[in-house]
């Protein structure tokens, strides 16, 4: 059960590492997915998701960043550095009643029509228990909206 809650939080927080930069991608319908491998618990895939990005709002951040209110509510700190085609991101969120604390780093490679990334994560529950793992994500433009 803890693995499922960690996977859900990773889906909400690790994917959204790329914050506040304007990383343009092509407008259209995007499909993306993630897999989280937790040491000692195996791989936990998340269901694939889709999102329609309209012209003028088509950025990598829109694909991977949840609303700012969610990040603020979890008191997460994120940082993004990068150049054309690559980005490095880090994140730290403290444990809370809503879920475990998460720290992670992610290397992302992207084009206007694809992205993929991976990196290590650590999580810690409020009771001090925790673990380590790896997150892998990918996405592609699947056509017009």
Statement: residue 4 has pLDDT above 70: no
3-state helix, strand, coil in the chain (%, to 5): 20, 50, 30
Q: What pLDDT, on a 0 to 100 scale, did the predictor assign at position 99?
A: 82
Report which of 99, 98, 108 is spatially closest to residue 32, judged by C-alpha positions.
108
Q: Summarize pLDDT for 50-89 with one digit per residue, the tens.
A: 999 999 889 877 777 666 787 788 888 877 676 788 888 7
Q: Measured between alpha carbons, how far is 28 from 51 in angstroms, rounded to an integer?
A: 8
Q: Measured between alpha carbons, how far is 90 from 104 in angstroms, rounded to an integer?
A: 6
Domain carrying residue 14: 2-143
% of the chain residues with pLDDT over 90: 41
Question: What's the pTM?
Answer: 0.74
Q: Domain total for the chain?
A: 1
Angle at 119 between CA 116 and CA 29, to 5 degrees: 25
Q: Summarize pLDDT for 117-131 with one digit per residue, the tens.
A: 999 999 999 888 999
Q: What pLDDT, on a 0 to 100 scale, did the predictor assign at position 6?
A: 45
* Model confidence band, residue 132 (pLDDT cutoffs 50, 70, 90): very high
Q: What pLDDT, on a 0 to 100 scale, did the predictor assign at position 109?
A: 94
Q: What is the dihedral of CA 44, 82, 140, 132, to 10 degrees?
A: 0
């Amino acid at each position: 059960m803890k693995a499922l809650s960690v996977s859900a939080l990773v889906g909400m927080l690790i994917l959204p590492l790329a914050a506040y930069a304007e990383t343009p991608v092509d407008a259209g319908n995007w499909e993306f997915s993630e897999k989280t491998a937790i040491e000692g618990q195996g791989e936990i895939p998340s269901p694939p998701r889709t999102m329609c990005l309209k012209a003028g709002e088509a950025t990598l951040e829109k694909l991977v960043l949840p609303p700012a209110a969610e990040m603020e509510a979890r008191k997460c700190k994120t940082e993004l550095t990068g150049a054309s085609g690559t980005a490095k991101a880090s994140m730290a969120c403290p444990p809370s009643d809503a879920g475990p604390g998460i720290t992670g780093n992610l290397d992302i490679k992207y084009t206007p029509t694809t992205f993929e990334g991976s990196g290590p994560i650590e999580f810690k529950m409020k009771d001090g228990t925790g673990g380590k793992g790896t997150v892998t994500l990918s996405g592609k433009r699947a056509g017009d909206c």
